[in-house]
Amino acid sequence: MTDISIRNVKVLDGTGSPAFDADIEIQDGRIKTVGTAGPAKLEIDGQGAHIAPGFIDTHSHDDGAFFRYPGMAFKLAQGVTTVVAGNCGFSAIPADPSIDPARASGGILAGVEAGFTDLNGYFEAVMGKQPGINNMMLVGHNTVRAIVMGMAKRAPTQAELQHMYGLVEQAMEQGACGFSTGLIYTPGKWSQTEEIITLARAAKTTGALYTTHMRNEGDRLLEAIDESLTIGLESDVHVHISHHKSAGKQNWGKIKDSLAKIDAALGRGQRVTLDVYPYTAGSGRMIEYFNLENINRDFAEVIRIASCPPFRDYEGRMLIDIASEQAVDITDLVRTILTAPKGERTICIHFIIDEEDIATNLRHADMMVGSDGIPDLRGRPHPRLFGTFPRVLGKYVREDGVLSLPEAVRRMTSLSAQTFGLVERGKIKEGYWADLVLFDPDIVIDKATYDDPKQEPIGISTVIVNGQVALNNGQHTGVGSGKMLRYRRTAYGE
C-alpha cells in the first residue's frame, strides 16, 4: 500500500504555473502520483490548503545550528525543507581543530565539538543528529583563508593560494554547491579580486556557484557588482549575489542601477542570480562593522542589540536609547560593548534598507528568497530567522501584490533547486523527493517581530521532508528525516 495519500489540496507545482486540483501519493520518500490517490497507510486531508514543494532557504548560516538545534524547528515551521549553509564566506568546513574552528568559521562553530575536518566528515556528524531538514553547503573563503593564512593582511603567496585552492576543490569534490565570499569581513576583506577569481575556478570543475556577500553594499554598491560580475566572467562560474540591497539612506533606490547591470550581464549570456530577505534591517556580528579607532556614529545610531553576552539587559534595545539613558556618548558605548569579555560575540540588528527596495528586488525574475537568519536563539534574534518565507507570502504576495503566488513559490522552490543543484527537488513532480508544504495563502503570515522574534508563523499546517511528516497540523513531530545534499548528485550516503 502507498505510504501517504494527500487529498483535497490545490497544487502549486513550483514551476510558476497556477494552482490545480490533484491528489498526491508518496512512496519510499518520493512523489509517486500527482493525480488520483488510492488508499494509503497515512491519509492526509488537506482541507482545501495549497500544497507546494518545500521552500528552499538559499541564504542560511545554519552550519552549526544542525548541531545545536538539529530539529531546525524555526525553519520547518516556515515550510522550509532545505537550507543552503556556508554563506558570506563563513562555513563549518574545512575545519582544522588545531586552528580554533570557532574563529575560522566566523563563530558558526562556537560551542560545537564534532571533530570533523572536511565536508564528508561534517555530513556524517550532522546525520548522526537526525536533522529535521535538508542541508546543502557552500565552502567559505574567510574560513579557508583563516586556516591557511591566519589573519594576514596581505595577498597569499603562490603556495598559500595553491593550499586554499586545494581546500575549495576538495569541498567541491565532496558535494559543495559553491564557493562563497564575505568581502566586508575579516579576513576576506584583505583579498584582491585576483585571489577570488583563482579560487572561484575550483567551482568550475563541477559547474558549481560563486556566491558573494559583496565588498560593498552601500556607497560603492555598483563597483562591487562590477567586481562580482568580473569574477564570474574570469572564472567562468555562475555568480549568485547574496542579500542584494543598497544600504544606507543616501543609497536607497540604487538597486535599480545594480539590477540594470545584472540584466545587462544576463543579456550578454552571463549566468547571474540573486537572493533577498524581506526586511528593512540587516544583522550580523557587531564587531565586523566597526573600526574601534574610528567608530561610525551614524551606523551606531541605527543599531539595535540582538544578543550580547556581556550585557544581556541590552538585548532588544537601540544603542541610542541605552546611551541616552546612561548619559554616555554612543561611540563610547560601542567600544564598551565590543571590548568587554565575550563582547565580540555580540549580534546586532541595523536598520539600513528601504522598504521600496525590497519590493523592487522581489519583482526581479531571478530573485530568490534567503533568510540570512543567524541561528542564535539567545536574546532577541532578527525576526527573519523565524519569519522570512511566510512574510513573503503574506505581506508581499497577498497584502502588497508585489508578485503572484505561483511566481513567489517558483522563486522559493524550483528556481532555487535548479540554481543550487538540488537533484529531483523543488517541484511537485512524479519521481521527485517528497519535500512538501501545506499552507493557506489567505492567512499565512509571519508572527516574529523585533520585540518578540521567536514566534512561529501562522497558516502553515503540514510539512513533509523526504516523505516523512515533520510538521503535523502545526505540531513538530521530531521525525528527523533531513538529508545532507550534494551538488547535482545523490545525497550523502546514497
By CB under 5 A, name the binding residues for Zn ion: 88, 213
Alpha helices (H) in 350-466, listed in sequence order? 355-363, 384-391, 405-412, 414-419
Q: How far is the CB of 373 from Zn ion (least distance, A)?
A: 11
Q: How far is the CB of 394 from Zn ion (least distance, A)?
A: 25
Q: How far is the CB of 125 from Zn ion (least distance, A)?
A: 25
Q: How far is the CB of 61 from Zn ion (least distance, A)?
A: 8
Q: Would you say 138 or 437 has its CB closer to Zn ion?
A: 138
Identity at 200, one-letter amino acid code: A
Q: How far is the CB of 211 from Zn ion (least distance, A)?
A: 10
Could you give the 3-state DSSP secondary structure of residue 396? Answer: helix
Q: Would you say 255 or 469 has its CB closer to Zn ion?
A: 255
Task: Kindly report the backbone phi and psi dihedral angles of residue 107, in degrees, each rounded to the nearest multiple of 5, phi listed first.
Answer: 95, -10
Three cell numbers at 390? 511566510
Identity at 154, one-letter amino acid code: R
Q: How far is the CB of 182 from Zn ion (least distance, A)?
A: 6
- Classify residue 313 by its DSSP letter: G
Q: Would you say 277 or 386 has its CB closer to Zn ion?
A: 277
Distance CA 119, CA 143 (A): 13
Q: How far is the CB of 380 from Zn ion (least distance, A)?
A: 20
Q: How far is the CB of 271 from Zn ion (least distance, A)?
A: 21
CA angle 363, 368, 369 (to 5 degrees): 105
Helix axes 330-339, 319-326, angle to 10 degrees: 100
Question: Do residues 19 and 11 make contact, with C-beta atoms less than 8 angstroms apart?
Answer: yes
Q: Would you say 213 or 254 has its CB closer to Zn ion?
A: 213
Distance CA 385, CA 80 (A): 11
Q: Would you say 88 or 119 has its CB closer to Zn ion?
A: 88
Q: How far is the CB of 183 from Zn ion (least distance, A)?
A: 10
Of 155, 358, 183, 395, whose CA–CA distance to 259 is shortest? 358
Do the strands 30-35 and 23-27 form a parallel or antiparallel pair, or are they unpaired? antiparallel
* CB contact set of 449 (below 8 Å; sequence gap of 6+): 383, 455
Q: Would you say 88 or 308 has its CB closer to Zn ion?
A: 88
Burial tier of 217 (Cβ tally within 10 Å: 0-12, 13-18, 19+): buried
Q: Would you say 61 or 364 has its CB closer to Zn ion?
A: 61
Of 479, 480, 476, whose CA–CA distance to 74 is shortest? 476
Distance CA 302, CA 349 (A): 8
Q: How far is the CB of 209 from Zn ion (least distance, A)?
A: 15
Quickly tell me which residue has 488508499 as its cell.
39
Identity at 57, one-letter amino acid code: D
Q: Would you say 88 or 417 has its CB closer to Zn ion?
A: 88
Q: Would you say 88 or 465 has its CB closer to Zn ion?
A: 88
Q: How far is the CB of 284 from Zn ion (least distance, A)?
A: 7
Three cell numbers at 104? 575560522
Q: Would you say 142 or 462 has its CB closer to Zn ion?
A: 142
Could you give the 3-state DSSP secondary structure of residue 221? Answer: helix
Quickly tell me which residue has 561534517 as its cell.
122
Three cell numbers at 386? 523565524
Q: Would you say 383 or 467 has its CB closer to Zn ion?
A: 383
Q: Would you say 373 or 406 has its CB closer to Zn ion?
A: 373
Of 296, 334, 331, 297, whose CA–CA distance to 314 is shortest? 334
Starting at the edge strand found earlier in the chain, the sheet holding 468-472 runs 20-21, 10-11, 50-53, 436-439, 460-465, 468-472, 475-476
Q: How far is the CB of 450 from Zn ion (least distance, A)?
A: 19
